[in-house]
Structure 1
Amino acid sequence: MTIKSKKYYKWEVLGLLWLAFFLNQADRQVFNVVLPLIQDDLELTDVEMGMIASAFILTLALCVPFAGIVGDLFSRKWITTLTVIFWSIATVLTGLSMTPMHLVLFRSVATGGGEAFFAPANYALIAQYHKRTRSLALSIHQTSLYAGVVISGFLAAYIAEIWGWRSSFYVFGAAGVLLGIIMIFRLKDKREVVQDADIPITQKKPDFFKILALMIKRPTFLLLTLAFAGMVFVNIGYLTWMPTFLYEKFNMSLPKAGFVSMFCMHGFAFIGVILGGRLSDKFVMRNRNIRLLLQIVGMFVGAPFIVLMGLGNTTILVYIGLAGFGFFRGLYDANIYASLYDIIEPEYRSTASGIMIMFAFITGAASPMILGMLKPTLGLTNAIALLSILACFSAACIFIAMKFYFKKDYYHGLEY
């Protein structure tokens, strides 16, 4: 591979992983969008639907620390490629479900377990290929989450209304299998070198408990993990119940509720995440705190918009709430892994990502069920508004990390 082709190949890698993460998020969102149709067809209660969604997140959370270790030990190309194919097949099987147990098995266990092994290796592979463009690359990659939930929100509902909810799972699952086959031939692992010499770096064998002990000794890691847990709790609760909220409160059609609930937030999050990534890469060499500052602003200023999107009594007010939180949430999202990698050595980043994701998703797994339990009493209006407390909590954790610990925990390796 020539120098010029190497220069452009890192963007091809980003493109392939963008598409993979797009389908990752789309496969998750299909369930949320067609939730009312599944509920009616299989005669499930709100709590049962919440428990199925929570089981998915819990499975993902329990598997992801092992996924992090695997991502540091073995080929990240094959981990990402095989997991795309695995969860896509599980998505197709979800469409064949006839009972709640089938949904738990195919949706919660198989799909959730498959997706768990994708994230740590995926982010670490992007970080390997992108040094000076890391925040920008991770920001662009994050837009696939927004595109995935927005496009799938509309398409899944549209397909479900015409051909039934099962067809939505068939379509997105088949697309994932096709992408996985393409990745087999196009995706390559990145070999690290020392000072541009063609000498591979010897990979340290990760010891999970040793790394966990190392992470615990770094308060910045613990606080960033707590902040991420708060954000994940908000995000999972919103993604699961917002289409139903609009469907029931404003009598929207299912395709419109699925599209609007995702587009208003993620359309503006797209702007926020690109802006956040550009600002981080531009100013990080002058001010190492910039990534943390952007995350604090994103969560703290975004919190009032969560209240508005829950309590707004007109669609316009709800749309403003969705758009406002989406934009500021984008500033936070742009720096989730870039700020984490500022304090973690390269050889441990997949494992560290896995540990952080595990804790966050174990916490967030309770969100759909808790909102489902609050729905009959407080209503989704108040339940969604209460999520703003978690956004403020996240901002506070990052502020404490920045103020007291980040300077000491900063990784001083020669990456730039």
Structure 2
Amino acid sequence: MSAIMKKAWGYRYWVLVILWLVYIINYFDRMAVLTFLPFIQKDLHLTPVEVGQLASVFFFAYAAAQISAGFLADKIGSKRVMYIAITVFTFVTALTGVVKNFGQFIALRIGLGLGEGHHFAPAIRAINNWFPFKERGRAVSFFATSWAVAPAIVPVIVTSISVSFFGGAWRPVFYVLAIPGAIGIFLLWRFISDSPKEMIAKGKLSKDQDIEEENVAPKKLSKEEKRKAYGVFLKDANFYVFTLCLFCQLAVYWGTSTWLTSFLVTQHGLNIKEMGFFASAPYIVAFFAMMLGGWLMDNVVHRMKPVALIGYIGSIPVLWMLGSVEKGNTGLLLTLLLLVGFFVNLNFGSIYAYLPKRYPKEIVGSATGLANGIGQLGSFISPLIAGYLVTVGANGSQDFSRVFIFFAIVSAVAALCAVILKEKKVTKVPANTIGSEKSVS
């Protein structure tokens, strides 16, 4: 390891890259199921209603896991919780290859949701420990690109493995996906610690004058101090406004992700090859949008609200128009898909940097876990509501106009939340008071 990598100010970027890679492994497992779902449905003789239940039960378990993940990260450390998470979802993914019926598949989807749901909040807490306040927007934005990169590459990779090595069979692919899980466990063990201070204490990292005081590990709190510390965000009205904002953002993201391929095939009549190209377009743009949003937050506006308003207000017209594009107008369809990818994802890095920028690191894991747990219910509810809004014609044709109008309305609610949201930093978690605030310019 070079000298610069041994310095905390340089090594934290390696930590970020590793956390990013491990989270892409997380997405490999969930996106592989979605990619092979039509073939799984055929082999297991599942009805469309059962397929819908399988899709939604994952997000329900995933949302529930977010809450305990945050509190566990604060209690036993981010690294240990991520160990548990990746071990569970790797094991469940391998078991998916032997699933025989609907009941077994439901159990595995719940297990996958619980495993993957315990990964996000600890990762955000680790980023919070390693990066100074002024860089967290960019750091979280880069981390957020993992869920733009993964949906763009996973379907291609897993289907290629299936066709090239297993004659188009889907079951063996899930056994192979245990390998990236094992790699992720190794990367966590070898390169990650909860904080620079911990790694320096173990002699794995040299001391460096550029380490900021706020990058040291958070202090241990007594039970009484924890009770008062949690009150910092539980008694903060802005926490709930933020949570509703996140709920809406995730509702739009996973709502569009869930129904996009059906929209392209049934309403626009695209074949498999064309659908794959058009469906990947928003995620390619999403990577750059996420990075831009974090850069704007850290270097230009220094707040989440302006970035959020650009993203949410911009999403309203493009989502509204997307659902009404005439069949055959592929130029306009592609243009709107690219714009959807940009505006829907612009605020992803920024919104997840809001809590680390607002609350002390002693409680940011718990705050992130609770907010993301409630917010992920948007991922659960949105696809279900959208299903009722699809208009089915007498000849079996499907019209998604009302679906995308619904997503546009949800974006408008998110914009309203962003207008209301106040951005101030809670400076500390004292033992005898709930906390103090100072304005953030």
Q: TM-score by structure 2 length?
A: 0.83
Name the counterpart of 1:394: 414
Instruction: After TM superposition, list the pairs within 5 Å mapping 1:28-43 onto structure 2.
Output: 28-43=30-45
In terms of mean alpha carbon deviation, does 161-170 or 204-213 score higher? 204-213
Kindly, what percent of the aligned residue pairs are identical?
25
C-alpha distance 46-201 of structure 1, shift in aligned 2 (>3 A)? closer
Query: Per-residue CA shift, 1:117-155, capped at 9, x if unaligned?
Result: 111110010111111321111111111111111101322
- Provide closer, same or farther for how the CA distance between residues 197 and 109 of structure 1 changes in structure 2, counting only shifts above 3 A: closer
Partner of 1:410: helix, strand, or coil? strand
Change (3 A) 1:318 1:48: farther
Deviation at 1:55, TM superposition (A): 0.5
Whole-Å separation in 1 of the counterparts to 2:379 and 2:283: 19
Distance 1:265 1:400 in 2: 29
More helix by share: 1
Deviates more, 1:86-95 or 1:175-184: 175-184
Structure 1 equivalent of residue 120 of structure 2:
119
Q: Distance in 1 between matches of 2:9 and 2:361?
A: 21
Aligned to 1:163, what secondary structure does the other structure show? coil
- Residue of structure 1 equivalent to 2:322: 309
Provide the rounded CA distance (Å) in 2 between the counterparts of 1:121 and 1:259. Answer: 34
Query: Structure 1 residues 72 and 50, CA, compared in 2 at 3 Å: closer, same or farther?
Result: same
Partner of 2:90: 88
Residue deviations 1:200-220 (CA, integer Å, cap 9, x gap):
652225788766644242222
State the distance in 1 between where 2:254 and 2:295 align. Answer: 27
Match of 1:273 among 290, 293, 300: 290
Contact 1:310 / 1:318 at 8 angstroms: preserved in 2? no
Structure 2 residues not aligned, in runs of 5+: 199-210, 429-437
**What is the aligned counterpart of 1:172 among 177, 181, 185?**
177
- TM-superposed CA distance for 1:7, in Å, is 2.3
**Map of 1:236-247 to 2, 5 A cutoff?**
236-247=254-265
**TM alignment of 1:333-372, pairs within 5 A:** 333-372=348-387
Q: CA deviation at 1:80?
A: 1.4
Runs of 5+ in structure 1 lacking a partner?
none
Matches within 5 A, 1:10-409: 10-106=12-108, 108-131=109-132, 132-160=134-162, 162-191=167-196, 196=213, 201-204=218-221, 213-254=231-272, 256-261=274-279, 263-283=280-300, 288=302, 290-313=303-326, 314-375=329-390, 377=392, 379=398, 381-382=400-401, 383-401=403-421, 405-406=422-423, 409=424
Distance in 1 (alpha carbons) for counterparts of 2:368 and 2:405: 29
Q: Cα distance 1:40–1:368, how it changes in 2: closer, same or farther (>3 A)? A: farther
Determine the C-alpha separation between the residues in 1 that align with 2:378 and 2:11: 37
| CA distance in structure 1 between the aligned counterparts of 2:222 and 2:271, rounded to whole angstroms | 53
What displacement does 1:84 show? Answer: 1.6
User: Which letter does structure 1 place at the counterpart of 2:283?
Assistant: H
Q: Distance in 2 between matches of 1:75 and 1:199?
A: 14
Inter-CA distance 399–249: structure 2 relative to 1 (3 Å threshold): same
1:306-349 deviation per Cα after TM superposition (whole angstroms, max 9, x unaligned) = 22333223333222222102112232112012122232111100
Instruction: Find the aligned partners of 2:420 and 2:288 in 1 and give their Cα distance.
Output: 27
> Secondary structure at 2:347's aligned position in 1?
helix
Deviation at 1:370, TM superposition (A): 2.7
Change (3 A) 1:220 1:192: farther
Classify 1:372/1:97 alpha carbon distance in 2 versus 1 (closer, same or farther; 3 Å).
Answer: farther
Q: Distance in 2 between matches of 1:252 and 1:34?
A: 19
1:385 Cα deviation (Å)?
3.9
Q: 1:260 and 1:177, CA in 2 relative to 1: closer, same or farther beyond 3 A?
A: farther
Distance 1:198 1:371, change over 3 A: closer
Q: Which amino acid aligns with 1:241?
A: W
CA shift in 2, pair 1:167/1:202, >3 Å: same
Aligned length: 405
Instruction: Give the distance between the partners of 1:182 and 1:311, measured in 2 at CA.
Output: 46
- Structure 1 contact 75–189 (Cα < 8 Å) conserved: yes
RMSD: 2.9
Contact (CA 8 Å) 2:264, 2:275: kept in 1 or not?
A: yes
Greater CA radius of gyration, 1 or 2? 2
Cα deviation, residue 158, structure 1 = 4.0
- Residue 282 of structure 1 and its aligned partner are, at CA, apart by 1.0
- What is the letter of the counterpart of residue 242 of structure 2? L
Question: In the alignment, residue 295 of structure 2 is paired with which amino acid?
Answer: R
Q: Distance in 1 between matches of 2:215 and 2:237?
A: 36
What is the SS of the residue equivalent to 2:12?
Answer: helix
Q: Which amino acid in structure 1 is aligned with residue 281 of structure 2?
A: C
Q: In the alignment, which residue of structure 1 is the partner of 2:201?
A: none
Change in Cα spacing, 1:315 to 1:40, as seen in structure 2 (3 Å) is farther
Distance 2:354 2:111 in 1: 31
Report SS of the residue matched to 1:334.
Answer: helix
Counterpart amino acid of residue 360 in structure 1: G
CA distance 1:385–1:35, change in 2 (3 Å): farther
More divergent stretch after superposition (16-25 vs 80-89): 80-89
Letter of the structure 2 residue corresponding to residue 27 of structure 1: D
